[in-house]
Amino acid sequence: MNDDDLSIFENKSGKKYSGATSGAWEIVKFALLALLIVVPIRAVVAQPFIVSGSSMVPTFEDGQYLIVDELSYHLHDPARGDVVIFKYPKDPSKYFIKRVIGLPGDTVIIEDGKVTIKNTEHPAGEVLVEPYINNVTTTTERTTLQTGEYFVMGDNRGASSDSRTWGTVQRKLFVGRAFLRLFPIAEASVLPGEHKL
Domains and CATH numbers, the chain: 8-44 (no CATH), 51-190 (2.10.109.10)
Catalytic residue among 12, 90, 98, 196: 98
Beta pairing class for 141-144 and 8-10: unpaired
> Cα–Cα–Cα angle for 120, 179, 117, nearest 5°?
20
Identity of the highest mean pLDDT range in 10-24, 31-45, 59-73: 59-73
pLDDT tens-digit map of 44-95: 455 788 888 899 999 999 999 888 888 889 899 999 999 999 999 999 999 9
| Residue 177 contacts residue 100 (beta carbons within 8 Å) | no
Q: What is the mean pLDDT of residues 17-37?
A: 59
Mean pLDDT on 5-21: 47
User: pLDDT at residue 32 above 80?
Assistant: no
The terminus-to-terminus CA distance of the chain in angstroms comes to 71
Nearest-10 Cα torsion for 11, 16, 21, 26:
10
Task: Give the model confidence (pLDDT) of 93-114 as tens digits.
Answer: 999 999 999 999 999 999 988 9
Q: Check if 98 is active-site.
A: yes
Q: Which of the following is catalytic: 7, 55, 90, 196?
A: 55
Closest to 72 measured CA to CA, from 152, 150, 177 = 177
Determine the pLDDT at residue 19.
Answer: 53
- Rounded to an integer, the average pLDDT of 101-128 is 95
Alpha helices in 88-169 (DSSP H): 163-166
Q: What is the Cα–Cα distance from 30 to 19, expressed in whole angstroms?
A: 16
Q: Give the residue among 149, 155, 150, 137 at the shortest CA–CA distance from 192.
A: 155
- Please report, for residues 38, 122, 152, 195, the alpha-carbon distance to residue 160 in angstroms, rounded to integers and kept in the order given: 34, 27, 10, 19
